[in-house]
Chain A
């Protein structure tokens, strides 16, 4: 399983996104207790953890929906503050939420351009938008969406996910965050979406994928980051994990099995 994705992707010199000591509390509940995370460009970083581990909160911190109580965010080596979704979009961070945020009554092109429509003499430039949408889908080799002028309502779950991902990629984004992209998908559609996730990384984008499904994670992830109760209990290249180790980290925060060939001890990967 772990060997299925031997990567030739460049790991880059410096991670695109670095989180250092991120803390976030909601009242008495400490959702994030000082989390470190490195997200390199051109790689898929899988963020795994049980329910309530803080995955969503962490992602929302990066997306600008929550501002962290403490800690620093570095993007392309620069210290940044992300206070609103607008800030994160300006940096080139796009989030594909689990509910996809697509309008069923609009077609594929209209959804991909929602809020950023091309105008020509003050009016919608449908032809230019259609060309750009087709190009993006073709670049991502999304072949399942055949007609870009059909309403999203008529698409299958996998096609909708593809459209949502393509929408996120369109805007010169550098980091794409996918929240459970394969939940609620069948086997074939899951494979299509995972292929798409790999292609994003191949194009040099940094990808964070939240997932419950370890099969999916080990298929595409270059790196793993395991959250448990608001703490990063393990992070490193995917080759240093296997299912058992990941599950144990997720549930107990420790790994008791034989730690062969010097896998990183929990929470030591990020400095």
Chain B
């Protein structure tokens, strides 16, 4: 029986909507294109055809409800246009770098939240877990204790990871709802933080290395070298992977697609370096070069993407979020994966807290972990991570962090009040989850 007959049979039998049928046929067609690649590797002449097939496949996916990061990218562009028309300073290199540094805290904690959201859980404590991380580092590098910066950071990460493991264990072993456990964490860790800081305390950080995580910059040359290494490595790995797939007879994206991807990464990298290397100082002060926090965020992004995309553990995180029962029947140790997910989430939050303290060069009892965690959940969701588990990526937290930081930064630039800022953020959050839910619902009318 030919595939054409198959499709016809399908059509006749199932009384599904016409649009849905069209979609399925499109999918079959798209798959046909891929199948054609099977036997022989793509020749150069096929590139244009494969490029069109790629675009078509991408469009099919979007219509099927897998829009990925497209909405948030469009959102960032829209926000950029809105603020730029109101205040010409918004898109200035200095402000853009400043904005990204501001967003780094949300991005880091947000990448932690993504782990938990992927599992279909939520962690409301991450704001104050970040606070604990900040306090531990601050206390340990004080003149009295005087730990070296790396030991202090390590200790803070160990402490926050332990908090995550504890909360994760409560959720998995005692089967308590994560919402309640981490709500208790939100209250409890704030208490612990205040206790550690002492009454009315703002503790300044004198350690130069800790302070320069968020405030220090690389040399201009350093930025170029870093980006060069990243782009070359990316190009090498992408080309190698495609080559391996072609050689083993699997469908690989056309060469044009591969080159385009590499080009986009290279352009983005060069753009970031150029942006960072402009002197953004005021008056007699010169500030230029890439802030150290950029490679920190990027490193965490790469590490977590790798863990989620290339290891069994990552696959199981997605599987549990998608269908926990199926994961259990597949012999996956659910408690273990979930607990580790909570642990890595809290660990990322701890790192975010360290960056927060570094940026302010101090930590105080006015640290508002409650607002931060709400922004962080918003960050992940705005970026495209589902609140219902199984769908998401650390990159979403980074992109969502850009949106949140752009809104906060842009409105401060326009001199809008905190009240307006909160209302605007709420609207953006609602809009993003509406897009998520509506688009997903459309994708799911399939069965």
> Which A residues are closer than 8 A to B by beta carbons?
85-86, 89, 97, 99, 101-106, 110-111, 114-117, 119, 122-124, 127, 130-131, 143-144, 146-147, 149-151, 153-158, 186-189, 191-192
Which of these, B3, B27, B310, B311, contacts A150 with CB under 8 Å? B27
CA distance A143 to B9 in the complex (A): 13
Binding stretch for chain A, among B30-38, B231-239, B279-287: B30-38
CA distance A186 to B14 in the complex (A): 6
Does B24 have its Cβ within 8 Å of any Cβ on chain A? yes
Which of these, A89, A154, A191, contacts B446 with CB under 8 Å? A154
Q: Which residues of B contact A150 (CB under 8 A)?
A: 27, 31
Assess whether A105 is in contact with B6, with CB atoms less than 8 Å apart.
no
Q: How far is the CB of B62 from the nearest CB of chain A, in Å?
A: 12
- B1-35: CB near A (< 8 Å → 1, else 0) gives 10100100110111100000000100110111011
CA distance A146 to B33 in the complex (A): 10
Which of these, A102, A114, A147, A155, contacts B34 with CB under 8 Å? A147
Q: Which residues of A contact B244 (CB under 8 A)?
A: 127
Does B327 have its Cβ within 8 Å of any Cβ on chain A? yes
Assess whether A188 is in contact with B1, with CB atoms less than 8 Å apart.
no
Assess whether B6 is in contact with A143, with CB atoms less than 8 Å apart.
yes
Q: Which residues of A contact B321 (CB under 8 A)?
A: 105
Q: How far is the CB of B304 from the nearest CB of chain A, in Å?
A: 15
Assess whether B250 is in contact with A188, with CB atoms less than 8 Å apart.
no
Does B331 have its Cβ within 8 Å of any Cβ on chain A? yes
Binding stretch for chain A, among B137-145, B211-219, B312-320: B312-320
Which of these, A97, A104, A154, A191, contacts B27 with CB under 8 Å? A154
Closest chain B residue, CB of each to CB of A164: B326
CA distance A99 to B328 in the complex (A): 14
Say yes or no: A114-B327 contact (C-beta < 8 A), given A105-B391, A106-B319, A124-B312.
yes
Say yes or no: A115-B245 contact (C-beta < 8 A), given A104-B323, A124-B315.
no
Q: Which residues of A contact B331 (CB under 8 A)?
A: 85-86, 89, 115-116
CA distance A115 to B30 in the complex (A): 29
Assess whether B311 is in contact with A103, with CB atoms less than 8 Å apart.
no
CA distance A103 to B328 in the complex (A): 11
Q: How many B residues, CB 8 Å from partner?
A: 47
Closest chain B residue, CB of each to CB of A103: B322
> Which B residues are closer than 8 A to A by beta carbons?
1, 3, 6, 9-10, 12-15, 24, 27-28, 30-32, 34-35, 64, 66, 244-245, 248-251, 310-312, 315, 318-319, 321-323, 325-327, 329-332, 390-391, 443-444, 446-447
Q: How far is the CB of B353 from the nearest CB of chain A, in Å?
A: 30
Assess whether A146 is in contact with B332, with CB atoms less than 8 Å apart.
no
CA distance A35 to B329 in the complex (A): 26
CA distance A105 to B314 in the complex (A): 13
Closest chain B residue, CB of each to CB of A134: B250
* 18 A–B pairs (Cβ distance < 8 Å), ordered by A: A85-B331, A89-B331, A99-B325, A101-B323, A101-B326, A104-B322, A105-B318, A105-B322, A115-B331, A124-B311, A124-B315, A146-B35, A147-B27, A147-B31, A186-B10, A186-B13, A187-B13, A191-B9
Which of these, A144, A151, A156, contacts B447 with CB under 8 Å? A156
CA distance A85 to B329 in the complex (A): 8
Assess whether A153 is in contact with B28, with CB atoms less than 8 Å apart.
no
Say yes or no: A153-B327 contact (C-beta < 8 A), given A106-B319, A147-B27, A189-B13.
no
CA distance A127 to B10 in the complex (A): 30
CA distance A198 to B27 in the complex (A): 27
Closest chain A residue, CB of each to CB of B388: A105
Assess whether A127 is in contact with B248, with CB atoms less than 8 Å apart.
yes
Which of these, A99, A122, A146, A188, contacts B28 with CB under 8 Å? A146
Assess whether A131 is in contact with B311, with CB atoms less than 8 Å apart.
no
Assess whether B318 is in contact with A117, with CB atoms less than 8 Å apart.
no
Assess whether B14 is in contact with A103, with CB atoms less than 8 Å apart.
no
Most buried by A among B14, B66, B318, B323: B323
Say yes or no: A154-B10 contact (C-beta < 8 A), given A99-B325, A101-B325, A104-B323.
no
Q: How far is the CB of A160 from the nearest CB of chain B, in Å?
A: 8
A-B contacts besides A155-B446, A156-B446, 6 pairs, CB < 8 Å: A89-B331, A106-B322, A119-B312, A153-B446, A156-B14, A189-B14
Closest chain B residue, CB of each to CB of A147: B31
Which of these, A85, A114, A144, A147, contacts B30 with CB under 8 Å? A147
Say yes or no: A188-B329 contact (C-beta < 8 A), given A104-B390, A146-B31.
no
Q: How far is the CB of A236 from the nearest CB of chain B, in Å?
A: 33
Which of these, B32, B250, B323, contacts A102 with CB under 8 Å? B323
Q: Which residues of A contact B444 (CB under 8 A)?
A: 153
Which of these, A123, A147, A156, contacts B10 with CB under 8 Å? A156
CA distance A203 to B10 in the complex (A): 26
Q: How far is the CB of B113 from the nearest CB of chain A, in Å?
A: 18
Q: Which residues of A contact B66 (CB under 8 A)?
A: 151
Closest chain B residue, CB of each to CB of A110: B315
Q: How far is the CB of A60 from the nearest CB of chain B, in Å?
A: 12
Most buried by A among B6, B318, B322: B322
Assess whether A103 is in contact with B13, with CB atoms less than 8 Å apart.
no
CA distance A144 to B31 in the complex (A): 11
CA distance A101 to B329 in the complex (A): 8
Which of these, A105, A155, A187, A191, contacts B390 with CB under 8 Å? A105
Q: Which residues of B contact A106 (CB under 8 A)?
A: 315, 318-319, 322
Closest chain A residue, CB of each to CB of B320: A103
Q: Lowest 10 A-B CB distances belong to which pairs?
A: A115-B330, A146-B31, A103-B322, A188-B13, A147-B31, A188-B9, A105-B322, A105-B390, A101-B326, A186-B13
Q: How far is the CB of B347 from the nearest CB of chain A, in Å?
A: 21
Assess whether A114 is in contact with B326, with CB atoms less than 8 Å apart.
yes
Assess whether B250 is in contact with A103, with CB atoms less than 8 Å apart.
no
Q: How far is the CB of A135 from the nearest CB of chain B, in Å?
A: 11
Assess whether A157 is in contact with B315, with CB atoms less than 8 Å apart.
no
Closest chain A residue, CB of each to CB of B330: A115
Q: Which residues of A contact B34 (CB under 8 A)?
A: 146-147, 149
Q: Which residues of B contact A131 (CB under 8 A)?
A: 248-250
Assess whether A154 is in contact with B64, with CB atoms less than 8 Å apart.
yes
Q: Which residues of A contact B3 (CB under 8 A)?
A: 143, 146
Assess whether A127 is in contact with B245, with CB atoms less than 8 Å apart.
yes
Q: How far is the CB of B386 from the nearest CB of chain A, in Å?
A: 9
CA distance A192 to B390 in the complex (A): 30
Most buried by B among A143, A157, A186, A191: A186
